[in-house]
Chain A
Amino acid sequence: MASWLKQQKKNLRLWVQIAFAALTNGYVTGFLKGRIYSGPFKQLCVPGLNCYSCPGAVGACPIGALQAVLGSSSFRFSLYVFGFLAFVGTLAGRFVCGWLCPFGLVQDLLYKIPFPRKLRRLPGDRFLKFLRYVLLAVFVILLPLVVVDFVGQGKPWFCSYVCPSGTLFGGIPLVWLNEGLRRSLGWLYAWKMALLVLVLALSVLVNRPFCRYACPLGAVYGLFNPIALYRFQVDASKCTHCGACQAACKLDIPVWKTPNSTQCIRCGACLKACRFGALRSTFSLKKPDSSFPEKETR
């Protein structure tokens, strides 16, 4: 029993991911009847990339919500969604990606599948890591704002042409459960399925390829990592620069150098790997602990 509990403690992040995915996708009737929840909670954004057209979804995806507001004829800026992103980002940064995002969970599970040669990063990583900012700026913000129809409405370009989370959590179950939707399938569905298959296949090879290279929500939260209340700290007096934290990091981040990197999803593997107690996480607006002399971090 004690060893079982110890094992579950090791898997704490996985259990939190599963519980949060179940909580935010708990509308069981949707899965049984092939429809979506349309109650009042759908006004509220959830922190992760969770398609609001998933039959179980009880909240709204912030990236979908942002495009919906920017693409409407009534608004040119979204105070509500940008405010939400700033609030969550300032509190937790990319902790959301590591602990609360259902699409992150899917990628984590796929990465557990054994494969002869796992990759630390994809070829072209140096350039690919900027793709998420391009997708955020162009597909999530600019195109919905600028390309509008005769009544002044834009469409959600990221959802339409890119989002694999929407295809997985919304597209597949709804099309499976609805005869009418199945009759409407066309090239766009095929394109989005091809993108989804690519992301899922890459997820077996490399850890979290979508989060690293293409997620606009991760791009936003990542900008908050350096100032978020939930942060990692390096004790300069204890750190030996041995690199154990980077070796343990599935995203290959040199944590001892950049503990609050915009890439870090706060999985916490580095904290466990440091044998010298030089790394720790904090959640505070208070003055840092003087017994833990933090080095200036980016």
Chain B
Amino acid sequence: MSERAKRWLAAALLVAAVGMMAAGAVRGEVQQVWMKASNICMECIGLG
């Protein structure tokens, strides 16, 4: 892949990534992450 193509791909990915994060936040994924992360994760610590 040429350097020019890589730069275009990077720019497109950055824009898509920001869009995905925003869409994920709007549809409630952030809340899902917070619910998991704000309680002790028994699986993570080896108890669940």
Contacts and interface: CB of A to CB of B under 8 A. Distances in A.
Contact of B10 (A37, A42, A72, A285): A285
Contact of B44 (A39, A82, A83, A166): A166
Contacts of A166: 41, 44-46
Interface string B25-40: 1011111111111111
B20 A82 contact: yes
A189 B6 CA distance: 44
B34 A228 contact: no
B29 to A, nearest CB: 4
B45 A181 contact: yes
A227 B31 contact: no
Contacts of B22: 83
B41 A84 contact: no
B6 A171 contact: no
Given A156-B41, A170-B44, A227 B21 contact: no
Nearest to B28: A74
A239 interface: no
A53 B46 contact: no
A42 B34 contact: yes
Contacts of A90: 10, 13-14, 17
A167 interface: yes
A210 B22 CA distance: 32
A229 B10 contact: yes
Contacts of B31: 43
Contacts of B23: 79-80, 83
Contact of B27 (A65, A79, A159, A186): A79
B10 A53 contact: no
A43 B33 contact: yes
Interface string A125-162: 00000000000000000000000000000011001100
A43 to B, nearest CB: 4
A174 B40 contact: yes
Ordered nearest first, which 5 A-B pairs have the shortest CB separation?
A80-B24, A83-B20, A38-B38, A79-B24, A68-B36
Interface of B: 1-4, 6-7, 9-11, 13-14, 16-25, 27-41, 43-48
11 contacts: A42-B34, A42-B37, A51-B44, A53-B41, A79-B27, A83-B17, A83-B18, A184-B47, A185-B47, A188-B47, A189-B46
